[in-house]
């Protein structure tokens, strides 16, 4: 049976959810990886595909071409700002975000950044749009920093999101994790989201659980994934059980099947 906990978001709820995380499932071995890869390989594709929680939560609807915006820059800028705040707590979130933006602009000024990068986007927009980017990032960094400050366990901002290329299936999986909390020998993943959770938010968290386990060299799943929606006052949890890992795998395969069917539909 899968797990999905619904909690009211309050100041110390994250620490309680970390403390209450159960023992995770056994590590994913070669048989589990091979079986998952075979199921995805059975869904043909003419081009490489990428599946993540965002795609699963939206019923595998074909995503629009990516374009930077203030909302889409909030996490990238906010993560960099949060690292600065962790290194120097005397900074304010606004000062940390401003430094992060200035670093991106300095890189863009060298002329050695790609046209689709965040640095290039920030250099091309006007001051008002950069101010909107800063406001979004300050909100994200503040919310995430306030949640982390309540933790009684060590936590870290991971250097990158987990990726996993499924052998033989022309499919790459991308997960998200904003904080990794160390609780004894286990870890708990934390995601901070804007707005309110949709009906498929639990499926998205299971995909993040699965990708993190597949990307781990030993195949160890996290004890729990916690999704925080501070603006809605909601926290959702998915535990690192075998049933939830399997549910995440089914969601990925289902997204690939739906994507294949839509690709075959006449224009």
Tens place of pLDDT for every residue, the chain, 267 residues? 889 999 999 989 999 999 999 999 999 999 999 999 999 999 998 889 999 999 999 988 877 778 999 999 999 999 999 999 999 999 999 999 999 999 999 999 998 988 899 999 999 999 999 999 999 999 999 999 999 999 999 999 999 999 999 999 999 999 999 999 999 899 999 999 999 999 999 999 999 999 999 999 999 999 999 999 999 999 999 999 999 999 999 999 999 999 888 878 775
Contact 220, 182 (CB under 8 A): no
| pLDDT tens by residue, 15-46 | 999 999 999 999 999 999 999 999 999 999 88
Same domain as 233, residue 178: yes
- Structural domain boundaries enclosing 143: 70-149
Nearest partner of 4 among 253, 258, 241, judged by Cα: 241
pTM: 0.94
Instruction: Give the three-class secondary structure for 131.
Output: helix
Number of structural domains (the chain) is: 2
Give just the sign of the alpha carbon dihedral 61, 162, 148, 140: negative
Count of residues in the chain:
267
Same domain as 175, residue 76: no
Same domain as 127, residue 242: no
Cα-only R_g, the chain:
19
10 Å Cβ neighbour count for 35? 10
Same domain as 234, residue 113: no
Same domain as 245, residue 205: yes
Domain boundary among 130, 149, 168: 149
């Amino acid at each position: 049976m899968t797990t999905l906990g619904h909690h009211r978001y309050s100041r110390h709820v994250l620490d309680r959810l970390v403390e209450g995380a159960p023992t995770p499932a056994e590590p994913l071995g070669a048989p589990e990886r091979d079986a998952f890869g075979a199921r995805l390989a059975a869904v043909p594709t003419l081009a490489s595909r990428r599946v993540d929680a965002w795609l699963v939560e939206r019923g595998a609807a074909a995503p629009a071409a990516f374009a930077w915006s203030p909302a889409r820059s909030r996490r990238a800028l906010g993560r960099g700002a949060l690292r600065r705040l962790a290194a120097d707590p005397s900074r304010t979130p606004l000062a940390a975000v401003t430094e992060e933006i200035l670093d991106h602009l300095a890189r863009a000024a060298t002329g050695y950044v790609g046209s689709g990068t965040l640095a290039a986007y920030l250099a091309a927009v006007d001051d008002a749009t950069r101010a909107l980017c800063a406001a979004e990032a300050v909100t994200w960094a503040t919310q995430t920093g306030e949640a982390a400050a309540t933790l009684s366990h060590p936590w870290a901002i991971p250097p990158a999101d987990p990726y996993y290329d499924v052998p033989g299936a022309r499919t790459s999986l991308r997960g998200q994790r904003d904080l990794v909390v160390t609780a004894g020998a286990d870890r708990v993943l934390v995601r901070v989201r804007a707005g309110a959770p949709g009906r498929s938010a639990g499926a998205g968290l299971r995909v993040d659980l699965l990708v993190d386990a597949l990307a781990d060299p030993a195949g160890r799943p996290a004890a729990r994934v916690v999704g925080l929606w501070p603006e809605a006052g909601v926290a959702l949890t998915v535990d690192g059980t075998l049933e939830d890992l399997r549910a995440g795998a089914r969601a990925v395969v289902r997204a690939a099947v739906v994507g294949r069917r839509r690709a075959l539909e006449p224009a």
